[in-house]
């Protein structure tokens, strides 16, 4: 059964429509997890720390694609809701072309400045050289990585979530197979892990480009377009919350790494890396649901169908609540198995990672509401509130907590910081949802 944006959504239909987006985000998160497993177990602890040390910088650059995807998806969905399909095609094409060109420029920037940036963050000696080697190979695929992020949103808007899932699975399987081949069999070390990830990102970015560039069965297609500065600015402003979230999370990760180097050395960075892998996968479910449901929200808001908008919000809050409780339980249950999977070869690192998991897991109880709330306001075209939620959640609250809490609780304070930040962000999001319900009629 083909589900359309204009449909009425019950729980079953809502979950069927968003499930491919959830799976897409989880598979995208698994890229780093697979790299981490092979690097940690087949290359060593210091290279594993290097991957986690430089990854925040790489994610900042890749997050520009997420900005174009979420901000553009909302604009395109609202345009489709008004019935202007030709304009929607032109907007879609403009955003894809512009993000591809920007990706090339960011690749050049990243390759030129990755060494001084890694050194500024505190990497030195072998760790610094490995950060640079890994990062420069990944950066070669940055334009494709940005497009992959972008198309994850556009597939949902094009009513082709299943196809988007297939592309992401293909990219994820490529990464897994090549990691096993390059790292475990050929013993190419960190270079092999980086090459596997770069090639998989190319798969995820190029295949959708080919699909939308040809006649297809979706409601979107790449066509000739013209520069529209107003639409581009609106897309960037509307998607700024997602970019802000990506940048903030990356900056905070850098700060966490600096604090962990101070309190626990390279073991602290490695333990945090394991937590971040699980965090990416679990948050991928929240982000995927938010990305998948956003075009529905944008469409019905554009069509002034406020009853359905209210219906989607109520059901989404229930879904997010169930996800949150399930993830807390799962994280607590799997803390030791996850730690054993990544760092079981080192008893001290294993104990440190388990302890971090037991505290950090409570953040999943609160994170979903803020993630969804930010995406909800993006879909409504209110980039300001969306960006504010993201800024508070991923930057202000976390920076304050990670600087203060360790002074009181030591290393445990670092793990507690994210829990406190997510709780405060969930509270702020709830206040915004209540305050704006009359304006948006939900």
More confident residue, 63 or 104: 104
Q: How many CB atoms lie within 10 A of CB 416?
A: 20
- Percentage of the chain exceeding pLDDT 90: 59
Highest mean pLDDT among 144-148, 254-258, 272-276: 144-148
Amino acid 31: pLDDT: 65
Q: How many CB atoms lie within 10 A of CB 83?
A: 10
Amino acid 32: pLDDT: 63
More confident residue, 28 or 366: 366
Distance CA 288, CA 374 (A): 13
Amino acid 238: pLDDT: 80
Distance CA 115, CA 119 (A): 6
Q: Assign 7 to helix, strand or coil.
A: coil
90 has a pLDDT exceeding 90: yes
Distance CA 158, CA 319 (A): 23
40 has a pLDDT exceeding 60: yes
Average pLDDT over residues 71-81: 90
Distance CA 256, CA 395 (A): 12
Amino acid 274: pLDDT: 83
81 has a pLDDT exceeding 80: yes
Amino acid 269: pLDDT: 77
pTM of the model: 0.74
More confident residue, 341 or 9: 9
Under the banding of pLDDT at 50, 70 and 90, the label for residue 53 is confident
Integer Rg of the chain from CA: 21
* Tens digits of residue pLDDT in 367-395: 999 999 999 998 998 988 988 998 898 88
CA angle, 249 then 247 then 98, to 5°: 145
User: By the 8 A CB rule, do 178 and 226 touch?
Assistant: no
Q: Assign 217 to helix, strand or coil.
A: coil
Task: Dump the DSSP string for 115-184.
Answer: HHHHHHTT--HHHHHHHHHHHHHHHTTHHHHHHHHHHHHHHHHTT-HHHHHHHHHHHHHHHHHHHIIIII
User: By the 8 A CB rule, do 31 and 261 touch?
Assistant: no
* Tens digits of residue pLDDT in 274-323: 888 788 888 889 999 998 999 999 999 999 999 999 999 999 999 999 99
* Nearest CA-CA partner of 168 in 270, 25, 292: 25
Angle between helices 306-343 and 364-379 (to 10 degrees): 140
Amino acid 1: pLDDT: 56
Which residue has tokens 């198309």?
A: 151
- Percentage of the chain exceeding pLDDT 70: 99
DSSP annotation of 44: -
Task: Return the minimum-mean-pLDDT range out of 48-57, 191-200, 307-316, 433-442.
Answer: 48-57
User: By the 8 A CB rule, do 174 and 203 touch?
Assistant: yes
2 has a pLDDT exceeding 90: no
């Amino acid at each position: 059964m083909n589900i359309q944006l204009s449909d009425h959504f019950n729980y079953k239909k809502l979950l069927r429509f968003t499930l491919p987006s959830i799976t897409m985000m989880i598979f995208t998160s698994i890229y780093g997890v697979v790299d981490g497993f092979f690097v940690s177990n087949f290359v060593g602890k210091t290279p594993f720390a290097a991957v986690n040390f430089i990854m925040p910088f790489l994610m900042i650059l890749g997050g520009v694609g997420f900005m174009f995807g979420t901000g553009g998806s909302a604009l395109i969905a609202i345009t489709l809701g008004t019935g202007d399909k030709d304009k929607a095609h032109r907007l879609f094409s403009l955003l894809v072309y512009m993000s591809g060109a920007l990706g090339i420029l960011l690749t050049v920037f990243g390759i030129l400045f990755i060494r001084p940036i890694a050194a500024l963050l505190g990497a030195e000696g072998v760790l610094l050289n490995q950060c640079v080697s890994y990062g420069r190979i990944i950066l070669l695929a940055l334009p494709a990585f940005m497009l992959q992020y972008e198309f994850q949103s556009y597939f949902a808007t094009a009513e082709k979530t299943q196809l988007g899932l297939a592309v992401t699975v293909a990219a994820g399987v490529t990464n897994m197979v090549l990691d096993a081949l390059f790292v475990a069999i050929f013993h190419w070390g960190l270079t092999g892990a980086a090459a596997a990830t770069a090639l998989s990102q190319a798969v995820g970015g190029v295949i959708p480009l080919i699909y939308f560039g040809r006649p297809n069965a979706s409601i979107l297609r790449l066509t000739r377009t013209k520069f529209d500065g107003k639409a581009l600015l609106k897309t960037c402003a509307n998607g700024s919350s997602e970019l802000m979230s990506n940048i903030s999370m990356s900056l905070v990760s850098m700060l966490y790494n600096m604090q962990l180097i101070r309190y626990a050395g390279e073991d602290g960075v490695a333990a945090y890396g394991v937590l971040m892998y699980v965090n990416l996968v679990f948050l991928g479910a929240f982000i995927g649901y938010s990305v998948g449901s956003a075009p529905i929200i944008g469409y019905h808001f554009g069509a002034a169908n406020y009853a359905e908008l209210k219906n989607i919000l109520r059901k989404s809050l229930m879904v997010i609540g169930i996800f949150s409780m399930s993830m807390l339980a799962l994280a607590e249950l799997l803390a030791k198995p996850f730690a054993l999977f990544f760092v079981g070869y080192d008893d001290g690192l294993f104990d440190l990672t388990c302890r971090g998991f037991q505290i950090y897991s409570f953040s999943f109880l609160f994170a979903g509401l803020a993630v969804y709330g930010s995406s909800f306001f993006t879909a409504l075209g209110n980039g300001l509130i969306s960006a504010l939620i993201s800024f508070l959640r991923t930057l202000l609250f976390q920076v304050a907590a990670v600087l203060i809490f360790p002074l009181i609780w030591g290393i445990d304070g670092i793990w507690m910081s994210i829990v406190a930040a997510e709780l405060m962000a969930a509270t702020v999001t709830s206040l915004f949802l209540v305050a704006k319900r009359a304006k948006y009629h939900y």
